[in-house]
């Protein structure tokens, strides 16, 4: 496993824990609004791969932080595209750290294996849009049945989890939001994220807009009708 970047400290990305973030390169989706294209597009990854961090260097860093950090967030890109991800998580766990996994849910078999082996203590899954609109927003590599399977998998696991969505005014219509509400009904928690158009994989999305703060508050109430914990992340 090689890492595209490491954030040495965060108190925001792992709920209730002091953690670091390990970013993996590459992704199996092409989300139009993605704000990290340098970690997603192969041609962009190739330009920065000389600066990637080796597994040996990362675990040397972790060893020095064992008394300071509680957890490690493994994010991307999309971590589940890497076959050696379970072994990587196993090594983190063996050092006494908790693991939070960020995923897009497009590889449910990998997610199931990780949960079965107890290699993740918290999972955050991005739910981009309604199932009917997924390919339009994130590209043809997504399988709607994979997204649905991952959602159901997390709903029926004892491991703490959250779903989250970056909401874009020009895309997330009332009909789409209604479908998302039905899809996520009965989930434990759901976080609405504010869209930031400063840098996007599809340049056209730099002209799109976030929902206002008041609109986001209304959506918290909307989703809160079927989900017990709903919040906003800026």
**pLDDT digits 0-9 by tens, 156-211:** 999 999 999 999 999 999 999 999 999 999 999 999 999 999 899 999 999 999 99
Strands 122-126 and 53-54: unpaired
Closest CA to 224 of 172, 167, 171, 181: 181
2-233: which CATH architecture? Answer: Alpha-Beta Barrel (3.20)
DSSP 8-state secondary structure symbol assigned to residue 119: -
Ordered DSSP codes for 167-208: EBTTT--HHHHHHHHHHHTT-SEEEEEE--TTS-SSGGGGG-
State the pTM of this model. 0.96
Sequence-ordered list of residues with C-beta below 8 angstroms from that of 75, at least 6 positions apart, any chain: 13, 21, 22, 23, 24, 102
Low pLDDT (below 50) residues in the chain: none
Element (H, E) at 155: helix 144-155
User: What's the rounded Cα separation, in Å, for the pair 157 and 159?
Assistant: 5
Contact criterion met (CB below 8 Å) for 158 and 195: no
Looking at residue 196, its pLDDT comes to 93
């Amino acid at each position: 496993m090689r890492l595209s970047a490491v954030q040495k400290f965060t108190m925001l990305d792992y709920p209730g824990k002091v953690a670091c973030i390990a970013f993996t390169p590459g992704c199996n989706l092409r989300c139009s609004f993605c704000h990290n294209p340098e970690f997603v597009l192969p041609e962009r990854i190739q330009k920065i791969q000389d600066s990637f961090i080796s597994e040996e260097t990362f675990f040397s860093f972790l060893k020095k932080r064992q008394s300071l950090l509680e957890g490690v967030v493994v994010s991307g890109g999309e971590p589940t595209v890497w076959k050696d991800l379970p072994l990587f998580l196993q090594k983190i766990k063996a050092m006494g750290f908790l693991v939070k996994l960020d995923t897009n849910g497009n590889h449910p078999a990998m997610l199931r294996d990780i949960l079965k082996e107890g290699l993740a203590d918290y999972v955050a899954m991005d739910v981009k849009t309604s199932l009917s609109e997924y390919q339009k927003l994130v590209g043809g590599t997504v399988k709607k049945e994979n997204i649905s399977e991952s959602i159901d998998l997390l709903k029926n696991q004892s491991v703490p989890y959250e779903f989250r969505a970056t909401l874009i005014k020009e895309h997330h219509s009332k009909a789409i939001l209604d479908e998302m509400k039905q899809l996520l009904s009965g989930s434990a928690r759901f976080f609405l994220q504010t869209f930031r158009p400063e840098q996007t994989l599809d340049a056209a999305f730099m002209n799109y807009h976030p929902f206002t703060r008041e609109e986001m508050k209304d959506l918290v109430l909307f989703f809160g009708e079927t989900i017990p914990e709903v919040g906003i992340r800026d």
